[in-house]
Structure 1
Amino acid sequence: MSATENLWDKRYAQAGYVFGVEPNAFLASQSARLVPGARALAVADGEGRNGVWLAQQGLSVLSIDNSAVALAKARRLADERGVALTFEQADLEAWSWPEGAFDLVVAIFIQFARPELRDRIFANLRRALKPGGLLLLEGYRPEQIAYGTGGPRVAENLYTEPMLRSAFADLEILELRAYDAPIHEGEGHEGMSALIDLVARRPG
């Protein structure tokens, strides 16, 4: 077990769900873009709230996370909701990302990654999309540190509009929005937050 796995296993070891069991609000707001039967990848999906919700919408979902504890809770949530999806323990630094395999890639608050790893992950998010595939990404902006309501306290891990425009310049950016809003996602994300949302499509 890596130190990172151990850290997240400890965080997820509590009885309840750290980030709740309901889908991320930004993800849920994009429901009209979802196509039943489409193949979806839920990146760093933790205890499964987003992957399970995608499966409830009729998508074929691969949910990946590096924490075995989180994955066990995600499987339990899927059973409770009566949906089937595939779970895989994956270290994003070493995982073999399938190329052009997914109609949808969802990356919600994956800001544990230092900049050099983040750049590789962003490249792999793009790589995993089929031509015409959709990327849904949400994160915190640097202003989040002052709020202290969730996310990393390391400014370099946070997102700005110029950063995302540059990182995904080869995709068709359909939406890119920075705003402040309260979120209520378990004890992990609670209160007014500095958010940024990206909806982008791989050309082709």
Structure 2
Amino acid sequence: MSKEHWDNSFSNQDFVYGESENVFINNISHIIPEHSKVGCFAEGEGRNAVYLAKLGHDVTTYDQSTIGLEKTKILARQNHVDVETFAMDLTKEKVKTNQYDAAIMVFGHVPKKDQPFFMESMINSVKPGGYIIFEIYSEAQLKYQTGGPKSVDMLYDPVDILNWIKNYKCIHFYYGEAEREEGKRHVGLGHVIQAVIKK
């Protein structure tokens, strides 16, 4: 989806996915060592980035929507934390390698042809020994109609994910249903893929 799509999506004054962090990120964040450098990929309006900054991490977010990044800065100020923001098309530009102790991505949906590049860039941005943590909607989410893209091309196949992470230590992998109440765009029971890997 284009920068214009996401700029329009985030142009509401309120936070379309809410101001609270994703439940999975909240549940798993204890695995990230204290005072880590964390990269947040396709982070949108910054709710997860701000949460991690409040835990004491040094957080950088990447998103192609400048409006989403502006809202990240507003949310960070409201919570008295600093979050660095970068406008970047993560389907075309690679993030610098081996710089983060952890990377997270929540519902970062890109076309299937761009998914390997996007995932590889995120994994490569983390130093050896670091963690990559993500939750995304599976292709099965289309039947649930509770959020996420309306095209199977923008959703993820669990077999693809397993192939992309097979060379790393897999700490957690989940493919199935999850309740999500995140703003007005993720409401109710959905079908997700979660993974935590150690590089």
- TM-score w.r.t. the length of structure 1 is 0.93
**1:131-142 pair list within 5 angstroms:** 131-142=128-139
Q: Deviations over 1:33-90 (max 9, x none)?
A: 0222111000011110011111011111111111111111110100000001211111
Q: Does 1:189 align with 2:189?
A: no
2:58 is the counterpart of 1:60 = yes
Q: Structure 1 residue aligned with 2:101, among 89, 100, 103?
A: 103
TM-superposed CA distance for 1:115, in Å, is: 1.4
TM-score by length of structure 2 reads 0.96
Give 1:144 deviation, angstroms. Answer: 0.8
What's the counterpart of residue 45 of structure 1?
43
C-alpha separation in 2, matches of 1:36 and 1:126:
20
User: Contact 1:161/1:176 (CA < 8 Å) preserved in 2?
Assistant: no
Shift of 1:91: 1.2
Show structure 1 runs of 4+ deviating over 4 A: none
- Runs of 5+ unmatched residues, structure 1: none
Q: Which amino acid aligns with 2:107?
A: F
Distance in 2 of aligned mates of 1:120 and 1:149: 27
1:162 aligns with 2:169: no
Among 21, 31, 34, the residue aligned to 1:33: 31
What's the CA shift for 1:96?
A: 3.7
Structure 2: stretches of 5+ with no match in the other structure: none
Which amino acid is the alignment partner of residue 177 of structure 2? D
Per the TM alignment, residue 159 of structure 1 is displaced from its structure 2 partner at its CA by 2.4
- How far off is 1:160 after superposition? 3.3
Task: Provide the aligned length of Structure 1 versus Structure 2.
Answer: 199
Counterpart check, 1:78 vs 2:76: yes
The separation in 1 between residues aligned to 2:113 and 2:142, in whole angstroms, is 21
Q: 2:8 — aligned with what? A: 10
Q: In structure 1, what residue type is equivalent to 2:80?
A: G
SS of residue in 1 equivalent to 2:139? coil
Instruction: State the Cα distance separating 1:148 from its structure 2 match.
Output: 0.6
| 1:62–1:87 CA contact under 8 A, matched in 2 | yes
Identity percentage of aligned residues: 25
Deviations 1:102-151 (A, max 9, x none): 1101011111x111211111111121110001000111112210111111
Confirm or deny: 8 A CA contact 2:15 2:45 kept in the other structure. Answer: yes
- Tell me how far 1:93 sits from its aligned partner: 2.6
Amino acid at match of 1:187: K
CA distance in 2, matches of 1:96, 1:147: 33
Q: Secondary structure at the match of 1:27?
A: helix
Aligned with residue 92 of structure 2, among 76, 91, 94: 94
Q: Please tell me whether residue 120 in structure 1 is matched to residue 111 in structure 2.
A: no
Shift of 1:155: 1.7
